[in-house]
Structure 1
Amino acid sequence: MLDVERAGELFEAFGPVRCRPMFGGTGVYARDVMFALEVRDVLYLKTDASTQAAFQAEGCGPFSYDTARGQRTIASYWRAPDRLLDDPEEFAVWARRALAVALSRKQQAPRKQSKKT
């Protein structure tokens, strides 16, 4: 599982991150948004239509897991290419793209309206 020390090493060229346990794995946050997910020692980065082709070209696929009703796929997180884990500078480039996607999605999300009493 991704812990603070390992995350610090992995994301050193990217910058500071926070890790939170979730989904039996770890959510990775920067600037108050989750942009990466680690599950079963596999790292996934946030994607959108503009970044998925790069993941496909590397032979990577989206995050998926098994449920009682079959397999469920989360198309917005794709497996990070293994080669990036040995190249901190290029990994940081991919991580920055994932963060940009996450920030963009956060800005597009509809805001909850407060209830007036």
Structure 2
Amino acid sequence: MAVSDEEIEHVLDLFAGLGPLTTRKMFGGLAIYRDGTIFALLMSDGRTLIKGQGEMQDRFDAMGLERWTYARPGKSPTAMPYWHLPDSALDDADEATELARAALAHL
């Protein structure tokens, strides 16, 4: 299932405070970039994930955000450097933008 135009518009509105963004469709979802750096994903099921590296990993864990993991058949789960955006940020562009700015500072 691919992301809808409405889902793409919503996620770009959430992060509009960052300035110009670019995107790339991949695997039915969308990668979101600022100045050529990927910082968020819109998954094919509509979930929005934000990238965390360095101290942002600890911050996202402390916030209780769920980390994205996946498992291939017969393999152990793999934790990716992305966390689910908190529900509160899905309706608050200021919160989403603040989290994205902090994440980008550590990428």
- TM above 0.5: yes
- CA distance, structure 2, for counterparts of residue 86 and residue 78 of structure 1: 17
| Aligned AA (2:36) | D
Give the letter aligned to residue 29 of structure 2: G
**Matched residue pairs, number?**
101
4+ long deviations beyond 6 Å: none
Deviation at 1:2, TM superposition (A): 6.2
Q: TM-score if structure 1 supplies the norm length?
A: 0.72
Larger Rg: 1
RMSD between aligned residues: 1.9
The reply to whether residue 11 of structure 1 matches residue 15 of structure 2 is: yes
Matched, 1:100 2:105: yes
Deviation of residue 20 (structure 1)? 0.9
- Under a length normalisation based on structure 2, what TM-score does the superposition of the two structures give? 0.78
Looking at structure 1, the residues matched to 52 and 70 of structure 2 have their Cα atoms a distance apart, in angstroms, of: 17
Contact 1:48 1:101 in 2 (8 A): yes
Structure 2, gaps ≥5 residues long: none
Q: Percent of pairs identical after alignment? A: 34
Q: 2:79 aligns with which of 73, 80, 100?
A: 73
* Stretches of structure 1 lacking an aligned partner (at least 5 in a row): 103-117
